[in-house]
Structure 1
């Protein structure tokens, strides 16, 4: 196959978004929304029932994500949102219902993540987030995403409740920590893959800490803003960003198709 044609086809088959500033903004928003919406759902229902429903929603979202052959913004971010909600609930069940200490659950998720990375690298010889275009790579990618969300939830609760940093201070500290991979990659040649996954993990407790600060009762350090209201506002903002990305991706796919047709025509 012609090199230009091969490159065009490979670019079209990538299943994840380009890592840009908008990517990180939406990622932090989904982590915050998942945290507060999970708490809101548990208030309205019960934690086990809400987790069951969220698990079903996650299965549907991931089913759609694996079915499509290319990156589709609303499907990808729906899957991320459902991972955020389910990951929060799963971590909460471990600590609140099963009584597992946060240090234990956090350590468990860290160990699980290390194992996932080892197996992923052993099978694929890379942990790159740029080349998610095969079912196997996509499986490892989403397994990593699920674990990082659960890890981030446990880690955020650990700093807020066990270390007694509270929600606001925890959020500020995680905001400082997330700057480390950005600075390291830009000015100190930090490995791009390590930088990405480091930042990806930190976005979870970052967003969750700030939404907890907004929505938790004042007696434990929150502003006591209604959880339903905070959830709704974040959902609207996320929807607006995803709508923008959908239009942008549609235009980009049109250009890719023209490029693909042009390469085909040139090879006739």
Structure 2
């Protein structure tokens, strides 16, 4: 899965993946703001997804903030982080991955607010977030003639990118909960199911020439319910089908792992998109 989204592979539909540099774009020019798609990218993304699930539960339930207050706090932190992310002219691992962790939490809370506070059925929220994501992709492509993450070098493209990321997390939350409740597989079986779907996308990409950009975004969406199922399996009590580590323990383990990996990437710069050219 290391090469998902690379324009230079020339796979699939060239009108989607290979016109990143051809189309004019309004906005400040900068270096590419998204890291190279290496194994580290997917590991941190899944860890961030798991933290998004467990941290939302921790703040909402354990600290008794409630969904509304938790959403306001995490939304504020996300806006501050995105302010610095947009101000940066290049990829900075600590800022980028902090934004991903926070947007994972906010995306989860977006789905939870609709379901728990407003009583919107999971089937409806899944449809809503699917349409919002498709609308974002459509507007992005009509404006920029590419959905590749390897061409995020203007403010306009970066805005489309983060909006799409937000909706992938919200969609993954709603769809994952819908499947978990509808099929009632349990946490570890759900995690295995989503892992199998990710593996199927990987096989389709490497052996059947599935378009690189399409493969990336499908995998990105699927890692959300996979990470959430993994987080629930680790954090929930044993009588509920989990390992009983709790939301505090699970969040701490995954956050420490993310910090270590981001420190490593900052030092080595092996995922810096401009160093790899």
**TM-score, length of structure 1 as denominator length:** 0.87
TM-fit CA distance, 1:223: 2.7
Greater shift, 151-160 or 138-147, is seen at 151-160
Cα separation, partners in 2 of 1:225 and 1:136, compared to 1, 3 Å: same
Alignment of 1:37 onto 2:55: yes
**Gap regions ≥5 residues in structure 1:** 1-6, 260-268
2:43 to 19, 22, 25: 25
**Compared with structure 1, are the counterparts of its residues 158 and 220 closer, same or farther at alpha carbon in structure 2 (3 Å cutoff)?**
farther
> Residues 129, 255 of structure 1: CA spacing in aligned structure 2 closer, same or farther, 3 A cutoff?
closer
Paired position in structure 2 for 1:266: none
Give, in angstroms, the shift of residue 162 of structure 1: 2.5
Task: Tell me if 1:66 matches 2:96.
Answer: no
**Mapped contact 1:159–1:166 kept (Cα < 8 A):** no
How many pairs does the alignment contain?
Answer: 248
1:51 aligns to 2:56 (yes or no): no
Distance apart, 1:96 and its partner CA:
1.3
Greater length-normalized contact order (CA 8 Å, ≥ 6 residues apart): 2
TM-score for the superposition, normalised by structure 2: 0.85
**Contact 1:17 / 1:23 at 8 angstroms: preserved in 2?**
yes
Displacement of 1:163 = 2.3
Look up the match of 2:13.
Answer: none
Could you give the per-residue CA deviations for residues 89-133 of structure 1, whole angstroms, max 9, x where no partner exists? 111111111111111101111111111111111111111111100
Structure 2 unpaired stretches of 5+:
1-20, 22-28
Q: Quick one: distance in 2 between partners of 1:95 and 1:252?
A: 39
What secondary structure sits across from 1:126 in the alignment?
coil
For the Cα contact (< 8 Å) 1:31–1:207, is it kept in 2?
yes
The 5 Å alignment of 1:219-230 reads 219-230=239-250
Asked which structure has the greater CA Rg, the reply is 1
Alignment counterpart, residue 130 of structure 2, candidates 92, 104, 110: 110
Give yes or no for the alignment of 1:142 onto 2:162. Answer: yes
**What is aligned with 1:265?**
none
Distance of 2:156 and 2:200 partners within structure 1: 30
Partner Cα separation in structure 2 for residue 120 and residue 251 of structure 1: 25
